[in-house]
């Protein structure tokens, strides 16, 4: 199929893009990398009468460390996060980004587009959720606002972004210190497909190998990514040994609502998620026990 007819507007500035969003109301969409929107338009699952292209706006291409956060503009490309030395401040990017589609899609797809699209199996929404990334927006009528990633995602392809708003940038908390470990695991039918289930863990241990801080989560296991803050908090001051890991993984998947579909039943997904989660925790602990502090460049 081909997309329904639409008018195309390259935004000259953020202000210009926001004015166009206001002017065309419910019949307009932003386009960034086009890697999700264009297929949806081609299948006529989306039929915006007006497309506002933001991918060239320099205002949305920040990539810098600000007050303990890595700030990424909305239109920073996924491939940039994969390879930029600055992106190493969020080490999960380096191991999770290669799972997003293919090199060709990551060359065009943007960070903000992935969050705004809100696929529950997508990698960046999971990382944003477990790290507690702060998401910033702007519109003509409401000005600027921000929210945490776990408040952004409301359901599959459903966010709290107002149609008049543009996601402008994301602040990703940087963990500093020693004995930090992190891991990401995913299973998909074929290389480049969306995850059947995915898991991520980041933690920091003290000199006695006890947990100082910890975060972990699951993707593809319900309408939004999951993070398990209460379970993580319960581990602070404790050893994360194999028994503790088994118990955490068991508890975590109990709270998820995976779908049964052509590829896997819900019980299969739960088992898979449990295995992936345990692996990430084991790897993160092993890494934390041998890690050196990240470079501050
Ligand atoms: C073959 C293929 C495989 C893929 N596999 C994966 C995968 O495994 N994992 C994965 O996560 N993704 C995958 N994707 C999707 C890819 O990551 C997209 O890049 C991403 O989902 C959307 O980013 P984009 O910049 O292309 O956004 P677009 O397609 O341009 O936009 C997507 C949506 O977000 C909105 N939007 C975009 N930017 C903003 C903004 N700044 N503010 C407000 N709204 C905005 C648009 O209006 C649209 O509704 C795949 C895509 C393809 C084609």
From ligand 1's centre to the CA of 268, what distance in Å? Answer: 27
Output the pLDDT for position 190.
87
CA distance 277 to 269: 12
CA distance 48 to 242: 51
Output the pLDDT for position 191.
84
Is 7-53 assigned to CATH 1.10.287.470? Answer: no
Output the pLDDT for position 295.
47
| Nearest ligand 1 atom, CA 99 | 8
pLDDT in tens, the chain (297 residues): 799 999 999 999 999 999 999 999 999 999 999 999 999 999 999 999 999 999 999 999 999 999 999 999 999 999 999 999 999 999 999 999 999 999 999 999 999 999 999 999 999 999 999 999 999 999 999 999 999 999 999 999 999 999 999 999 999 999 999 999 999 999 999 888 889 999 999 999 999 999 999 999 999 999 999 999 999 999 999 999 999 999 999 999 998 999 999 889 999 999 999 999 999 999 999 999 997 554 444
Output the pLDDT for position 165.
98
Q: For ligand 1, atom 2, name the residue with the nearest CA.
A: 101
Pocket probe for ligand 1: among 35, 111, 167, 169, the residue whose CB has the most ligand atoms within 8 Å is 35
The fold of 58-173 is 3.30.465
Taking the domains of the chain in order of start, what are their residue ranges? 7-53, 58-173, 180-290
CA distance 277 to 183: 9
| Nearest ligand 1 atom, CA 60 | 41
Query: Could you name the CATH architecture of 180-290?
Result: 2-Layer Sandwich (3.30)
Q: Where are the alpha helices (DSSP H) in 214-265?
A: 229-234, 242-254
From ligand 1's centre to the CA of 80, what distance in Å? Answer: 15
Q: For ligand 1, atom 6, name the residue with the nearest CA.
A: 101
Alpha-carbon dihedral of residues 126, 148, 181, 75, nearest 10 degrees?
70
CA distance 161 to 167: 8
From ligand 1's centre to the CA of 108, what distance in Å? Answer: 9
What is the rounded radius of gyration, in angstroms, for the C-alpha atoms of the chain?
Answer: 19
Residues whose beta carbon lies within 6 Å of some atom of ligand 1: 29-37, 39, 54, 74, 100-101, 105, 109-110, 112-114, 116-117, 119, 122-123, 161, 166-167, 192, 194
User: What is the DSSP annotation of 206-238?
Assistant: -TTSBEEEEEEEEESSSSS-EE-HHHHHHTBTS
């Amino acid at each position: 199929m081909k997309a329904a007819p639409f008018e195309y507007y390259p935004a000259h500035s953020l202000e210009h893009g926001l004015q166009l969003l206001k002017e065309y109301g419910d019949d307009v969409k932003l386009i960034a990398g086009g890697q999700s929107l264009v297929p949806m338009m081609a299948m006529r699952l989306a039929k915006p009468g007006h497309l506002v292209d933001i991918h060239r706006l320099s205002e949305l291409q920040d990539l810098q460390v600000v007050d303990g956060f890595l700030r990424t503009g909305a239109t920073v490309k996924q491939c940039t996060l994969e390879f930029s030395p600055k992106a190493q401040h969020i080490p999960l990017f380096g191991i999770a980004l290669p799972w997003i589609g293919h090199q060709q899609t990551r060359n065009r797809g943007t960070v903000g587009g992935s969050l705004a699209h809100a696929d529950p199996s997508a990698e960046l929404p999971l990382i944003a959720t477990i790290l507690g990334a702060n998401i910033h927006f702007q519109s003509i009528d409401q000005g600027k606002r921000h929210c945490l990633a776990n408040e952004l995602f409301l359901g599959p392809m459903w966010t709290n972004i107002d149609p008049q708003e543009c996601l402008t940038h994301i602040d990703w908390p940087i963990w500093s210190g020693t004995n930090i470990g992190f891991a990401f695991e995913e299973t998909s039918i074929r290389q480049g497909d969306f995850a059947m289930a995915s898991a991520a863990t980041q933690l920091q241990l003290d000199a006695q190998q006890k947990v100082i801080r910890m975060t972990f989560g699951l993707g593809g296991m319900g309408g939004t990514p999951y993070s398990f803050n209460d379970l993580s908090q319960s581990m602070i001051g404790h050893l994360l040994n194999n028994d503790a890991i088994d118990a955490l993984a068991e508890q975590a998947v109990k709270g998820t609502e995976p779908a049964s579909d052509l590829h896997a039943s819900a019980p299969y997904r739960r088992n898979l998620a449990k295995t992936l989660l345990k692996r990430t925790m084991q790897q993160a602990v092993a890494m934390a026990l041998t890690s050196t502090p990240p470079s501050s460049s």
